[in-house]
Amino acid sequence: MISVTRRETFSASHRLYNPELSEAENLELFDKCANPNGHGHNYVLEVTVAGEPNSNSGYVIDMKKLKEVIRREIISRVDHKHLNYDVDFLKDVIPTAENMVKAFWDILKDKVGDARLQSIRLRETENNSVEYKG
């Protein structure tokens, strides 16, 4: 088994806010991330799939196809968007990096051909990142 990782980037804004909590609780919980007008990030998304290299191609997966899948299914729907308002598959969750990788996983898990989705990593800043392995 060999793992293959594709890195893509997108720029988006979000606001961390739980409507079931009070303003004071939101501020306590999310601090400046609860700013009503939101803020944003250059997200770095790393999608890892695993499998045996195909004997014809030497590829676990054609990186061009993995790139196209990630761009069509994820990047085109989140890039230059406000994650709270513009993204259908994030409508019901607080758009923390944790909730985002879980949503990305559900979208991608059956779309990587013969390979197996192994990990999704999302870097929100140069200091903060999350990883989900299903």
What does the binding site for a second copy look like in residue numbers (CB under 8 A)?
A: 1-9, 11-14, 16, 18, 20-21, 29-33, 35, 37-42, 48, 53, 56-60, 62-64, 67, 79-82, 84-86, 93-99, 101-102, 125-133
Helix (H) or strand (E) holding 122: strand 116-123
The number of C-alpha atoms within 13 Å of 123 and in the hemisphere containing its C-beta is 11
Q: In whole angstroms, how close is the CB of 17 to a second copy at the nearest point?
A: 10
Whether 20 is catalytic is no
Q: How far apart are CA 14 and CA 93, in angstroms?
A: 12
Q: In whole angstroms, how close is the CB of 131 to a second copy at the nearest point?
A: 4
Whether 73 is catalytic is no
Residue type, 50: A
Q: Active site residue: 33, 46, 73, 82, which one?
A: 33
Residue type, 53: P
Residue 27 to residues 21, 36, 80, Cα–Cα distance (Å)? 10, 10, 26
Q: Active site residue: 73, 98, 124, 131, which one?
A: 124
Whether 33 is catalytic is yes
Active site residues: 33, 80, 124
